[in-house]
Amino acid sequence: MRVYHGSYCIVDKPDISFSRDSLDFGKGFYVTNIEKQAISWTDRFKKRGKKGSVVMEANKTLLQSLYKEIILEFSKETGKDLDESMDYFYKSETYELISQGVSDLHCRGYKYLAQELMLEYGIIKHKSYPNDLVH
């Protein structure tokens, strides 16, 4: 998967300690699968006389490991067998968003992402959602 991060320098190892709480989604290292969006962000730095860098490659082995942990956690929490849990995961919007590099979902923990999967399928309800917004 190719993801992009608009910056004024090459980022070898993302470090969220440099980020701010006031960003759109809070502290994090933001990437997108939309090259034009990252280039647009990088152009802001170039206007200030700085260089720009945009391309990053997500480590496929790490993503597969994350997928495995999500499936195992989903299976454990729901009591579903591994084959059924894999079907739920690979047919989910959660998987699509992670695999497309949307926001920073691929940087989230497997327990959080397994809960997102359970929320998506209505297996659990979000504590702060009004009842009429839950599937």
Within 10 A of 116 (CB to CB), how many other CB atoms are there? Answer: 19
Residue 52 neighbours by CB under 8 Å, 6+ apart: 6, 7, 8, 39, 42, 43, 45, 46
Contact 134, 125 (CB under 8 A): yes
Average pLDDT of the chain is 77
CA 118 remoteness from chain centre: 16
pTM beyond cutoff 0.75: no
C-alpha dist (Å) from residue 10 to 6, 45, 55? 9, 13, 9
pLDDT at residue 81, as a whole number = 97
Q: What is the pLDDT of residues 109-127, one digit of tens each?
A: 889 899 999 999 999 987 7
Question: What's the mean pLDDT in 57-64?
Answer: 69
